[in-house]
A = this chain, B = another copy of it.
Amino acid sequence: MSRKVFVSAKEVADRAGVSRSAVSRTFTPGASVSEETRRRVVEAAEALGYHVNHLARGLMRNESGIVCLIVSELDTPYRARLLKALTQQLQSVAKIAMVINTDRSDDSVDLALRQAIRYRADASIILSGMPDKSITDLCLKNGQRLVLINRDEDREGPLLINLNDREAARRAFIALQRAGCQTFAFANSAAMTPSLMAREEGFREAGRAHGIEVVVERYGPTSYRSGAIVAQRLLTREKRPDAIFCASDLLACGLMDAARHQFNLAVPSELCVIGFDDIEQASWSSYNLTTFAQPVERIAAEAVAWLAQPSQTEANSHKLEAELIWRGSVRGG
């Protein structure tokens, strides 16, 4: 009826005929226990189904082993992949992921971080949304580590991991130019996150450097549907673009579908498209999209490695390169 209580170290100790400390030490790597005692403890623990209470351990050690992942739109292919990589790699260093969903509002990120503090998470990794400065300060002051992925920020303390978006955008421009394109456009969502904007800026800049003006269109969230709508706007212009760099693959897929099915344009012969993220769908043969791959595993690895090291090394900022994956949505290649 009432919640059956979990078995505690005390019970194990009694059964094994040793003190409670012996049990505790048996499950603490590096503690001093004789082979004989350990054996008896382990045996008793097994028999009783004992599992160390990490709540209590965390309380004592002041280190819970919990890492908070704060994310919005986690059902989006790129986010889901990142989430998977992170949870997996965290597990491999004996930490555990707590995931908190936020909507786009900064307020909800604050709520999430508060929750992280309540559970005394050792660290928080923010995949989306900018938390309020006062809250991140609170986290840091509480000895919590903070990782910001693809968020620009100049504050000291958190680990910043982001891509060299500008450079990627530049390379996209070159690639499209080599393919013989004349009229360039950039398809963006209206989310205006730092990384999306960096791609936009980078592409524009590259255009300027070549004396070419780049049309930019932004609409809605970063989704398939937005891509289709941006396509409408771009492809009905008097001077129709024949090269479009999309801020994300999701936008690119929507845009390509609209281009083909509504405007009857052939890709890549009449329209070249480059995306960003390298989500799984980009490789599907209906899209076969040339795109930049986010080094998801690398990102997760960097984050986890930084969290795993015992002493806080000075917070640094890692900039990774996105790899250009050539497929069939650009001529030549």
Residues of B within 8 A of A281 (CB): 281
Stoichiometry (number of copies): 2
Whether B91 lies near A83 (C-beta < 8 A) is: no
Which residues from B are CB-within-8-Å of A115? 96
Known: A80-B75, A257-B284, A284-B224. A59 touches B62 (CB 8 A): no
B58→A55 contact, CB < 8 A? yes
Contacts of A224 in B (CB 8 A): 280, 284
Q: Determine whether A24 belongs to the interface, using a CB cutoff of 8 Å to chain B.
A: no
Number of contacting residues on A, CB 8 A? 61
- A63 with B3, Cβ < 8 A, contacts A84-B101, A285-B257 known: yes
Most B CB atoms within 10 A — which of A64, A75, A280? A75
Within A241-290, the residues touching B (CB, 8 Å) are 253-254, 257-258, 260-261, 280-281, 284-287
Partner of A99 from B54, B73, B87 at Cβ < 8 Å:
B87
Find A59's partner among B4, B56, B285 (CB 8 Å cutoff): B56
6 contacts between A and B (CB under 8 A): A53-B59, A55-B64, A77-B77, A77-B80, A91-B101, A98-B98
- Known contacts A53-B120, A257-B286; can you find 13 more A-B pairs with CB under 8 A? A5-B62, A6-B117, A51-B117, A55-B58, A55-B119, A74-B83, A77-B77, A79-B80, A80-B83, A83-B99, A97-B100, A98-B99, A260-B286
